[in-house]
Amino acid sequence: MNPTLEMQPSISLEVRGLRKSFDGQPVLRDVNLFVEPGEVFVVMGPSGSGKSVLLKHMVGLEVPDAGEIRLNGEILHELGSLSQYRVGMVFQSGALLNSLTVGENVGLYLSEHHLGSSAEIAKIVAQKLKIVGLKDIEHKFPSELSGGMKKRVAIARALVIEPQLMLYDEPTAELDPLMAVVIAREILRLNQTTHSTTIIVSHDRELAFGIADRIAIILEGSILVVGTPDEIRSSSNPLVQSFITASVSKDRIDV
């Protein structure tokens, strides 16, 4: 990543012919996507459809069997690392380093890349925590935080990078509906203030239809359809319809 703290323009991301198998079991089958700079793009699909594996490929944590990921037209695996672009990722679990305090976690990128004195880093950490609605928790350890707070700390940690591309893995999973709305609003507000390209993988329909510019539906490792929320709602594909309209009703359960 570019080791400065200045804001950089958002970048495009393209997935071309991506295939991945684990132990002979195909997880991604010829995935093709293009995400515009500054766009909020949600990849939706049921559990086990390959969403998280796709996201890991986008940040270089998995090596594809075939196909490629392009950041601003440059092939990710030819770059060697994410050294040229600033990519922030918020993991489903938060993935905060449990042995570090909240402050150390949020300031980790800055301290490890020597991008400021301790006082400067502490100031930036406080700013980023304030952006996600947290304050005075720098000295707490991740184990002392609730699920929602951990997610917000993880977002603050990603924000410190001043990301050009922000990736979220199931940001509302394991959260109560109220906290899920708070996090969704936070993601949208950050996209509008930082103008970073935002990619979210989720199976949360409300999140997807509430904040996405475009949505892709993935099923068994293949992209079924890509479009705006309205286009997805009006899709004639029965698999898409069954996914976006699935609901539980007492009257419809046969005993």
Partner 1 sequence: MFHNIGEMLVLFWRTIRAWRNCWSQRRKILDQMFEIGNASLLMACVLSLFLGGVIALQSGPVLRDRGLVSLLGGLVGLSVAKELAPVMISVLIAGRIGSSMAAEIGSMKVYQEVDALRTMNINPTHYLVLPRMVGILVMLPLLVVLAVLSGWFGGALVAANNAEIALSFDGYFNNLRQVVDVNDVLSGLCKSVAFAAVIGVVSCHQGLITQGGPRGIGRSVTKAVVNSIVLILILDYFLTRLLMIFDR
Q: Where on the chain is the footprint of partner 1 (CB under 8 A)?
A: 1, 56, 59-61, 81-83, 87-89, 91, 93, 95-99, 108-109, 112-114, 157, 161
66 touches 17 (CB < 8 A): yes
How far is residue 91's CA from residue 154's CA, in Å, rounded to a whole number?
A: 8
Shortest CA distance to 142 belongs to which of 112, 175, 171, 105?
105
CB-nearer residue toward partner 1: 85 or 243:
85
CB-nearer residue toward partner 1: 118 or 234:
118
Q: Provide the minimum distance between the beta carbon of 86 and partner 1 in the complex, in angstroms, as a whole number.
A: 9
The dihedral through the CA atoms of 105, 107, 110, 111 has a sign that is negative
Q: Provide the minimum distance between the beta carbon of 89 and partner 1 in the complex, in angstroms, as a whole number.
A: 4
C-alpha count within 13 angstroms, C-beta hemisphere, residue 171: 31
Supply 34's token pair.
């293009």
Strands 165-169 and 197-202: parallel
Q: Provide the minimum distance between the beta carbon of 93 and partner 1 in the complex, in angstroms, as a whole number.
A: 6
CB-nearer residue toward partner 1: 143 or 245:
143
CB-nearer residue toward partner 1: 89 or 208:
89
Range list of H helices, the chain: 51-58, 76-79, 102-106, 108-112, 118-131, 147-160, 177-194, 205-211, 229-233, 238-245
Residue 115, judged by CB atoms within 10 A of its CB (0-12, 13-18, 19+), counts as middle
Q: Provide the minimum distance between the beta carbon of 111 and partner 1 in the complex, in angstroms, as a whole number.
A: 10
Strand partners, 217: 44, 225
Q: Provide the minimum distance between the beta carbon of 222 and partner 1 in the complex, in angstroms, as a whole number.
A: 25
Q: Provide the minimum distance between the beta carbon of 173 and partner 1 in the complex, in angstroms, as a whole number.
A: 14
